[in-house]
Chains A and B, each alone.
Chain A
Amino acid sequence: MRRYLHILVIAIVAAALTSPAMAQDKPRYGGELIFAVPSEPPSYDGHREETFGVIHPMAPHYNTLLRTDPNDKTGTKLVSDLAESWTMAKDGRTYTFKLRRGVKFHDGSEMTSADVKASYDKIVFPPQGVASDRQGQYVAVEAVQAPDPYTVVFRLKWPAASFLASIGSPWNWIYKADILAKDVRWYEKNVMGTGPFTFVEHVKGSHWVGKRNPNYWDKGKPYLDGYRAVFIRDSAAQVAAVRGERVHMQFRGFSPSERDSLVQALGPKITVQESPWDCALLVAMNHDKKPFDDKRVRRALSLALDRYQGSQALSKIAIVKEVAGVQVPGTPYATPPAELEKLAGYGRDIAKSRAEAKRLLKEAGVPDGFGFTFKNRGIPMPYEPVGVWLIDQWRQIGLNVKQEVVEAAQYYSQVLRPGNYEVAMDFQCGYIVEPDLDIYKFQSKEISPANYSRYTDKTLDELFLKQGRAGDAEERKKYVREFEKRLVDDEVHYFYTLQWHRIIPHSSKVKGWTITPSHYLNQQLDAVWLTE
Chain B
Amino acid sequence: MWKYVLKRVLLMIPTLLGVAVLIFFLMRVVPGDIVELRFAGESAFAQKENLDKERARLGLDQPMWLQFVTWMWGIARFDFGTSMWTGAPIIEEIKLRAALSFQLAVMATLIAVVLAIPLGVVAALKQDTWVDYVVRVFSIAGLATPSFWLGIVFILMLLIVFKWLPPMVYTPFWVNPWQNMLQLIWPALAVGYRYSAVATRMTRSAMLEVLREDYIRTARAKGLWQKLILSRHALKNAMLPVLTVVALEFAFLMGGLVVTEQVFNLNGLGMLFVESVARRDYTLTQALVMLVALVFILVNFTVDLMYAWLDPRIRFR
A→B interface (CB under 8 Å): 42-43, 49-52, 129-136, 188-189, 203-207, 230-234, 236-237, 240-241, 243-247, 265, 407-410, 412-414, 416, 426-431, 440-441, 449-450
Enumerate chain B residues within 8 angstroms of A131, measured Cβ to Cβ.
39, 50, 53-54, 57
A204:B36 contact, CB within 8 angstroms: no
B50:A240 contact, CB within 8 angstroms: no
Contact partner of B31 among A51, A231, A233, A413, CB < 8 A?
A: A413
B87:A429 contact, CB within 8 angstroms: no
Enumerate chain B residues within 8 angstroms of A130, measured Cβ to Cβ.
53
Enumerate chain A residues within 8 angstroms of B37, measured Cβ to Cβ.
408-409
Given contacts A205-B96, A244-B165, A412-B36, 9 further A-B contacts (CB under 8 A): A42-B87, A129-B53, A136-B45, A136-B47, A189-B87, A233-B275, A237-B263, A243-B159, A427-B44
Enumerate chain A residues within 8 angstroms of B163, measured Cβ to Cβ.
244
Enumerate chain A residues within 8 angstroms of B45, measured Cβ to Cβ.
50, 134, 136, 440-441, 450
Q: Could you tell me the distance between the alpha carbons of A21 and B163 in the complex, rounded to whole angstroms? A: 28
Contact partner of B50 among A51, A132, A234, A244, CB < 8 A?
A: A132
The 5 A-B pairs at the shortest CB distance, nearest first, are namely: A244-B165, A409-B32, A205-B267, A410-B32, A410-B31
A409:B280 contact, CB within 8 angstroms: yes
Residues of chain B at interface, number, CB under 8 A: 51
B57:A203 contact, CB within 8 angstroms: no
Enumerate chain A residues within 8 angstroms of B128, measured Cβ to Cβ.
none
Convert B18-62 into 0s and 1s, putting 1 for each residue whose CB lies closer than 8 angstroms to a CB of A.
Answer: 000000000000011100111111111111101001101100000
A429-B43, A430-B43 known; A233 and B88 CB under 8 Å?
no
Q: Could you tell me the distance between the alpha carbons of A136 and B49 in the complex, rounded to whole angstroms? A: 10
A428:B44 contact, CB within 8 angstroms: yes
Contact partner of A241 among B40, B46, B265, B271, CB < 8 A?
A: B265
Contact partner of B96 among A132, A204, A231, CB < 8 A?
A: A204
Enumerate chain A residues within 8 angstroms of B92, measured Cβ to Cβ.
204
B96:A426 contact, CB within 8 angstroms: no
- How many whole Å from B49's CB to the nearest CB in chain A? 8
* B85 interface hit (Cβ, 8 Å): yes
A244:B159 contact, CB within 8 angstroms: yes
* B168 interface hit (Cβ, 8 Å): yes
* B278 interface hit (Cβ, 8 Å): yes
- How many whole Å from B28's CB to the nearest CB in chain A? 13
Enumerate chain B residues within 8 angstroms of A205, measured Cβ to Cβ.
96-97, 267, 271-272
A50:B42 contact, CB within 8 angstroms: yes
Closest to B264 in A: A237
Contact partner of B44 among A240, A245, A450, CB < 8 A?
A: A450
A243-B159, A450-B44 known; A413 and B36 CB under 8 Å?
yes
B40:A412 contact, CB within 8 angstroms: yes
A132-B50, A135-B50, A244-B159 known; A206 and B39 CB under 8 Å?
no
* B86 interface hit (Cβ, 8 Å): yes
A240:B31 contact, CB within 8 angstroms: no
A51:B41 contact, CB within 8 angstroms: yes
Enumerate chain A residues within 8 angstroms of B38, measured Cβ to Cβ.
42, 49-50
Of B32, B43, B155, chain A has the most CB atoms within 10 Å of the CB of B43
Q: Sample 6 A-B pairs with CB under 8 A, ordered by A number.
A: A133-B39, A204-B96, A234-B263, A241-B265, A244-B163, A426-B44
Enumerate chain B residues within 8 angstroms of A132, measured Cβ to Cβ.
50
B→A interface (CB under 8 Å): 31-33, 36-48, 50, 53-54, 56-57, 85-88, 92-93, 96-97, 152, 155, 158-159, 163-165, 167-170, 262-265, 267, 271-272, 275, 278-280
A42:B85 contact, CB within 8 angstroms: yes
- How many whole Å from A272's CB to the nearest CB in chain B? 19
A232-B265, A237-B265, A414-B31 known; A204 and B165 CB under 8 Å?
no
A233:B262 contact, CB within 8 angstroms: yes
- How many whole Å from A278's CB to the nearest CB in chain B? 11
Enumerate chain A residues within 8 angstroms of B46, measured Cβ to Cβ.
50, 133, 449
A237:B262 contact, CB within 8 angstroms: yes
A206:B278 contact, CB within 8 angstroms: no
Enumerate chain A residues within 8 angstroms of B36, measured Cβ to Cβ.
409, 412-413
B42:A52 contact, CB within 8 angstroms: yes
- How many whole Å from A57's CB to the nearest CB in chain B? 14
Of B48, B53, B85, chain A has the most CB atoms within 10 Å of the CB of B53
Enumerate chain A residues within 8 angstroms of B263, measured Cβ to Cβ.
234, 236-237
- How many whole Å from A436's CB to the nearest CB in chain B? 12
Enumerate chain B residues within 8 angstroms of A431, measured Cβ to Cβ.
43
A246:B167 contact, CB within 8 angstroms: yes
A206:B31 contact, CB within 8 angstroms: no
- How many whole Å from B88's CB to the nearest CB in chain A? 7
A240:B43 contact, CB within 8 angstroms: no
Enumerate chain A residues within 8 angstroms of B158, measured Cβ to Cβ.
244
Contact partner of A246 among B152, B168, B280, CB < 8 A?
A: B168
Enumerate chain B residues within 8 angstroms of A43, measured Cβ to Cβ.
86-87
Of A236, A265, A413, A427, chain B has the most CB atoms within 10 Å of the CB of A413
B169:A207 contact, CB within 8 angstroms: yes
Enumerate chain A residues within 8 angstroms of B33, measured Cβ to Cβ.
409-410, 413
A42-B86, A426-B44 known; A240 and B165 CB under 8 Å?
yes
Enumerate chain B residues within 8 angstroms of A203, measured Cβ to Cβ.
96, 169-170, 267
Closest to B48 in A: A449
Contact partner of B41 among A50, A136, A265, A428, CB < 8 A?
A: A50
